[in-house]
Amino acid sequence: MRRFTIAVSAALTLTAVLAALPATAQAHGGPAPLGIDNCSATACHFDVPPGTYDVRILLGGDTASSTGVTGETRRALLPETAVPAGGRAARSFTVDVRTPEGEPTGAEGTAGLDLVFGGSAPALAGIRVTPALSPARTGSRGGTSATRQVFLVGDSTVCDQPGDPYAGWGQELPQYLRKGVSVANYADSGESTVTYLGNPLLWATVQPLIRPGDLVLVQLAHNDKTTDEVTYRANLETLVAGVRAKGGKPVLVTPIVRRWFNADGTLDNGTALLVNGLGVDHPAVIRSVAAAQGVPLIDLTAKTKALVESLGVEGSKALYLYNEKRDNTHTSVHGATVFAGLVRDELVAQHLVPRGAVRVG
């Protein structure tokens, strides 16, 4: 493996060596371009085409540092990592680069790959970006050397939110995954099962991208307020069948709860637990479809209900945007990170991703 070029200074001067190899050139045996230096002390921009890329970074400096990495539209790619003075820590992750880079129906964003280095004392000593191996290029069907994609189909509680203070749990999930597992978040604000299937920028765009072995997590319920039970069930079954038709593995996810309490400190059985005005109990239907179709189920409703009720009326405010927006549905960065951790735990517990592919700290 190529050695990092290291540059260290107390003022966070950065020398970053980038070996950016476009997937198209490498796949056809074309010559690789020379490495480029395109980073400042706290950010990098790599002019690469859409695709999946492995990023290897070296953290640390002359003084003690603490660095976290976000990318593209505020995606958390690496949790804040402390390195002692004079020390070095190598970390790797795999990132999805696409247009639009955030919500599928949103603004296109900046072409290429953008990384931002934050934390209480960021220090980057080196970086290398290369195209991730894929089953199409390796000839495998998801072997250990090939990147596995985790597609997310969902609404505003899952999506890559473009601006503070909002965050979706899918936006925070990548920081829990190591190199070799990439999150392609195609969740979109305001979508129901009806609109997600009907919009050509959504399901019709996602389905052709699914490769054998890819996971597709589906959480759609918050906006199915006028969807009857027969239609809702049929839409979930359509999504499951569509994933399987491409060789992917569907995973149904019940929705995160709304922070809506009864006087006794429990969550309201209607609004909080996603029962719509027609009496459709969305989590119950999702559980039923998962059982009937033999699909893995992540019961995020049950898990977030237990957590929110345990924190109580006051303690649970920090998970949502109650203090900032009086919003009991959408999550803060903190809340989205906590809920993403619940998803990570289930991915491991149900053997949907190997234990070694996740970060637990």
Question: In angstroms, rounded to a whole number, what is the distance separating the alpha carbons of residues 71 and 57?
Answer: 13
Q: Name the domain count of the chain.
A: 2
Is residue 18 included in any domain, yes or no? Answer: no
Is residue 11 included in any domain, yes or no? Answer: no
Is residue 13 included in any domain, yes or no? Answer: no
- Burial of 264 by CB count in 10 Å (0-12 exposed, 13-18 middle, 19+ buried)? exposed
What pLDDT shows up at residue 360? 83
Question: In angstroms, rounded to a whole number, what is the distance separating the alpha carbons of residues 144 and 84?
Answer: 32
Give the three-state DSSP class for 302.
Answer: helix
Question: In angstroms, rounded to a whole number, what is the distance separating the alpha carbons of residues 235 and 2?
Answer: 48
Q: Looking at the structure, do residues 304 and 248 belong to the same domain, yes or no? A: yes
Question: In angstroms, rounded to a whole number, what is the distance separating the alpha carbons of residues 58 and 52?
Answer: 20
Residue among 205, 168, 197 at smallest CA distance from 334: 168
Give the residue from 73, 105, 131 where a domain finishes.
Answer: 131
Give the residue from 85, 108, 131 where a domain finishes.
Answer: 131
Q: Looking at the structure, do residues 126 and 140 belong to the same domain, yes or no? A: no
Express each pLDDT in 67-89 by its tens digit.
Answer: 999 999 999 999 999 999 999 99
23's CB contacts (< 8 A; 6+ apart) are 49, 51, 52, 131
Q: Looking at the structure, do residues 234 and 320 belong to the same domain, yes or no? A: yes
Q: Report whether pLDDT(2) > 70.
A: no
Q: Report whether pLDDT(33) > 80.
A: no
161-184: average pLDDT: 97
What pLDDT shows up at residue 37? 75
Residue among 319, 340, 224, 330 at smallest CA distance from 278: 224
Is residue 40 included in any domain, yes or no? Answer: yes
Question: In angstroms, rounded to a whole number, what is the distance separating the alpha carbons of residues 52 and 354?
Answer: 20
* 24 — pLDDT class (breaks 50, 70, 90): very low
The range of the structural domain enclosing residue 82 comes to 23-131
Question: In angstroms, rounded to a whole number, what is the distance separating the alpha carbons of residues 342 and 27?
Answer: 37
* 3 — pLDDT class (breaks 50, 70, 90): very low
The CATH number assigned to the domain holding 95 equals 2.60.120
Q: Report whether pLDDT(179) > 50.
A: yes
Express each pLDDT in 110-138 by its tens digit.
Answer: 999 999 999 999 999 999 999 998 654 33
* 139 — pLDDT class (breaks 50, 70, 90): very low
Is residue 289 included in any domain, yes or no? Answer: yes
Q: Looking at the structure, do residues 112 and 233 belong to the same domain, yes or no? A: no
Q: Looking at the structure, do residues 72 and 169 belong to the same domain, yes or no? A: no
Q: Looking at the structure, do residues 122 and 269 belong to the same domain, yes or no? A: no
Q: Looking at the structure, do residues 178 and 69 belong to the same domain, yes or no? A: no
273-278: average pLDDT: 96
Is residue 12 included in any domain, yes or no? Answer: no
Give the residue from 131, 156, 180 where a domain finishes.
Answer: 131
What pLDDT shows up at residue 20? 34
What pLDDT shows up at residue 135? 55
Q: Looking at the structure, do residues 61 and 186 belong to the same domain, yes or no? A: no
Q: Looking at the structure, do residues 321 and 336 belong to the same domain, yes or no? A: yes
Express each pLDDT in 226-267 by its tens digit.
Answer: 999 999 999 999 999 999 999 999 999 999 999 999 999 999
Max Cα separation, the chain?
67
Is residue 5 included in any domain, yes or no? Answer: no
The CATH number assigned to the domain holding 181 equals 3.40.50.1110
265-282: average pLDDT: 96
Q: Looking at the structure, do residues 224 and 89 belong to the same domain, yes or no? A: no
253 within 8 A of 289, measured Cβ to Cβ: no
Q: Looking at the structure, do residues 126 and 144 belong to the same domain, yes or no? A: no
Determine if residue 139 is left, alpha or beta; phi over 0 gives left, psi from -120 to 50 gives alpha, anything else beta. Answer: left
What pLDDT shows up at residue 1? 35
What pLDDT shows up at residue 318? 98
Is residue 15 included in any domain, yes or no? Answer: no
Q: Looking at the structure, do residues 96 and 242 belong to the same domain, yes or no? A: no
Express each pLDDT in 37-76 by its tens digit.
Answer: 778 888 999 999 999 999 999 999 999 999 999 999 999 9
Question: What does pTM read for this prediction?
Answer: 0.89
What pLDDT shows up at residue 124? 92
